[in-house]
């Protein structure tokens, strides 16, 4: 290892020594984010932004394939509009930013910078919905929202973050529930197939559901350190918002009716999930589907005749089937290896004079460091195959981590012991009472992650109160 490489690698805190510091180091040194002059707001640098753009591109295609259309709503919500739905305003008013002046004048009514846009969508639906023939309306928007958080961390919790928010209205409750569930499945599929992050799908308890929702569903991912990250949510509102905002339509029976509503969202938090699920001591490891570069070509002994040219030719060929970066800078190969490992590029292609003589190159997997000598004539099959193998490995490794860190418990002493000794999911039965959920939090430091769709029978009683149990619940510590 060259001195330069050592220096760069030493600059990251080892992942198992201080995971929090490791995470911050990776965010900064992989050039994903910069801190801004606005406390709690982050800057997405080109590399971080490119990951988010790839996420957007895939998800947007999935949304459109299921009949959703994009719209753009205002950035501001008048205070009176935010207040129309009681539970919603209680949930959000304490954490919004308020605009009080426009230009040199004080506003007659304060405007908040949207923390989420249910109220704006309802206001719009009330204008444009007339008849059952207009339904369903299935809208989505890509934007940033603002929530005045006290403690912030890049991607995980910041005062401004980027996301998509889907908002739909339907003729019947059944259709709206089906939409809510379908969008949760879309998120799960996206996480598992593209981000290679296994998730648990389930329903939030009443305590944890969205302000104003009848039901909230979520996907929960487990990070490297065993903590949970809620990675996407989908809400069913019934007709509560419709009634609060006077959204009505003439039904098939010519009577005025209230539509049933959903909303669902994922955010730049997914980038945090990628970092904390797949990363290692060398830095980031990116799932190929969203990696800005899937392959980095590093010429070795680039000053020797023909090497730079051949590297450029090979990179050009790869660009036909993969996202490729040719690193033709005058840094040493060792420094480049280290830099692109930090940035998590899935495959490195090394090409030196002796390789060229043999019409081959070296392909190195970022996750396992496995090296393969590959003929330059077979790159178009070898690279996609290796990318796919790497992706599957990432998924399996993350799944193995989750399985190794998931424990079942049937009595409260066991819950407390596991919670203090281990980090991961603890599954238990639950009676359904808020008091027991609060006891889990106060005495074991655990919050309910979800009531998983896949229910198991772990016993008959709630470990907190001993009464008959209704559901299995996943508990954990969460970001």
Residues that bind its own copies (CB under 8 A): 34-38, 41-46, 49-50, 52-53, 69-78, 81, 94-104, 111, 113, 120, 123-124, 127-128, 139, 143-144, 146, 148, 159-160, 162
**Taking the complex as a whole, how short is the minimal distance between the CB of residue 303 and its own copies, in angstroms?**
18
Structure tokens at 42: 């982050």
The CA distance from 142 to 164, in Å, is: 4
Q: Are 164 and 56 in contact (CB under 8 A)?
A: yes
Nearer to its own copies, 153 or 471 (CB): 153
The secondary structure of 330-365, three-state, reads CCCHHHHHHHHHHCCCCEEEEECHHHHHCCEEEEEE
Nearer to its own copies, 127 or 303 (CB): 127
**Taking the complex as a whole, how short is the minimal distance between the CB of residue 367 and its own copies, in angstroms?**
26
**Taking the complex as a whole, how short is the minimal distance between the CB of residue 98 and its own copies, in angstroms?**
4
Nearer to its own copies, 146 or 426 (CB): 146
Nearer to its own copies, 40 or 238 (CB): 40
Other CB atoms within 10 A of residue 291 CB: 26
**Taking the complex as a whole, how short is the minimal distance between the CB of residue 64 and its own copies, in angstroms?**
10
**Taking the complex as a whole, how short is the minimal distance between the CB of residue 417 and its own copies, in angstroms?**
38
The CA distance from 197 to 155, in Å, is: 16
Other CB atoms within 10 A of residue 328 CB: 15
**Taking the complex as a whole, how short is the minimal distance between the CB of residue 118 and its own copies, in angstroms?**
13
Nearer to its own copies, 49 or 173 (CB): 49
Nearer to its own copies, 35 or 407 (CB): 35
**Taking the complex as a whole, how short is the minimal distance between the CB of residue 132 and its own copies, in angstroms?**
13
Q: Within its chain, how far is the Cα of 339 from the centroid?
A: 25
Nearer to its own copies, 37 or 255 (CB): 37
Nearest to 448 by CA among 464, 466, 461: 464
Nearest to 464 by CA among 434, 444, 440, 445: 440
The CA distance from 59 to 96, in Å, is: 27
The CA distance from 296 to 328, in Å, is: 10
Nearer to its own copies, 81 or 169 (CB): 81
Q: Are 353 and 314 in contact (CB under 8 A)?
A: no
Nearest to 300 by CA among 345, 356, 347: 356
Residue-wise DSSP of 196-219: ---EEEEE--GGGS-TT-SEEEEE
Cβ contacts of 69 within 8 Å, gap of 6 or more: 138, 139, 140
Nearer to its own copies, 115 or 202 (CB): 115
347-351 and 324-326 as β-strands: parallel, antiparallel, unpaired?
unpaired
Q: Are 365 and 347 in contact (CB under 8 A)?
A: yes
Structure tokens at 34: 């910069």
Q: What is the CA radius of gyration of the chain?
A: 25
> Counting Cβ atoms within 10 Å, is residue 442 exposed (0-12), middle (13-18) or buried (19+)?
exposed
**Taking the complex as a whole, how short is the minimal distance between the CB of residue 49 and its own copies, in angstroms?**
5
**Taking the complex as a whole, how short is the minimal distance between the CB of residue 171 and its own copies, in angstroms?**
16
- In three-state secondary structure terms, 246 is coil
**Taking the complex as a whole, how short is the minimal distance between the CB of residue 92 and its own copies, in angstroms?**
10
256-257 and 360-365 as β-strands: parallel, antiparallel, unpaired?
unpaired
**Taking the complex as a whole, how short is the minimal distance between the CB of residue 159 and its own copies, in angstroms?**
8
Nearer to its own copies, 143 or 173 (CB): 143
Nearer to its own copies, 94 or 305 (CB): 94
């Amino acid at each position: 290892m060259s001195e330069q490489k050592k220096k760069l690698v030493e600059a990251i805190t080892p992942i198992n020594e201080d995971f929090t510091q490791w995470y911050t180091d990776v965010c900064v040194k992989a050039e994903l984010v910069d801190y801004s002059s606005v406390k709690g707001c982050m800057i997405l640098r080109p590399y971080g932004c490119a990951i988010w753009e790839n996420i957007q591109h895939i998800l947007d295609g999935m949304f459109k394939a299921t009949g959703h259309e994009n719209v753009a709503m205002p950035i501001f919500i008048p205070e009176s509009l935010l207040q129309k739905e009681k539970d919603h305003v209680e949930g959000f008013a304490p954490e919004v930013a308020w605009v009080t002046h426009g230009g040199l004048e004080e506003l007659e009514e304060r405007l908040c910078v949207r923390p989420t846009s249910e109220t704006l969508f309802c206001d719009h639906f009330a204008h444009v919905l007339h008849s059952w023939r207009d339904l369903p309306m299935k809208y989505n928007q890509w934007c940033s929202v603002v929530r005045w958080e006290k403690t912030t961390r890049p991607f995980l919790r910041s005062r401004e973050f980027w996301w998509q928010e889907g908002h739909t209205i339907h003729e019947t409750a059944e259709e709206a529930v089906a939409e809510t569930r379908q969008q949760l499945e879309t998120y799960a599929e996206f996480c598992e197939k593209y981000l290679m992050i296994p998730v648990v799908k389930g329903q939030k308890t009443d305590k944890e559901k969205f302000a104003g929702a009848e039901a909230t569903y979520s996907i929960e991912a487990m990070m490297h350190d065993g903590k949970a990250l809620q990675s996407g949510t989908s809400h069913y509102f019934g007709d509560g918002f419709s009634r609060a905002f006077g959204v009505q339509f003439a039904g098939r029976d010519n009577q005025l009716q209230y539509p049933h509503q959903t909303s669902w969202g994922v955010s730049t938090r997914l980038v945090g999930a990628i970092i904390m699920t797949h990363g290692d001591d060398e830095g980031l490891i990116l799932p190929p589907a969203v990696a800005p570069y899937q392959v980095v070509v590093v010429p070795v002994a680039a000053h020797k005749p023909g090497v730079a040219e051949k590297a450029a030719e090979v990179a050009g060929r790869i660009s036909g089937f993969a996202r490729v970066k040719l690193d033709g800078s005058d840094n040493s190969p060792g420094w480049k290896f280290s830099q692109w490992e930090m940035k998590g590029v899935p495959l490195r292609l090394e090409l030196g004079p002796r390789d060229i003589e043999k019409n081959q190159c070296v392909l190195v997997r970022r996750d396992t460091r496995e090296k393969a000598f590959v003929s330059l004539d077979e790159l178009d099959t070898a690279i996609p195959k290796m990318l796919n193998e790497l992706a599957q490995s990432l998924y399996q490794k993350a799944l193995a981590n989750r399985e190794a860190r998931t424990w079942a418990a049937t009595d409260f002493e066991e819950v407390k012991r596991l919670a203090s000794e281990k980090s991961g999911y603890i599954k238990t039965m639950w009676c359904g009472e808020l008091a027991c959920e609060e006891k889990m939090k106060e005495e074991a430091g655990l919050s309910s992650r979800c009531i998983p769709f896949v229910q198991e029978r772990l016993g008959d009683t709630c470990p907190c109160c001993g009464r008959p149990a209704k559901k299995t619940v996943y508990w954990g510590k969460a970001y």
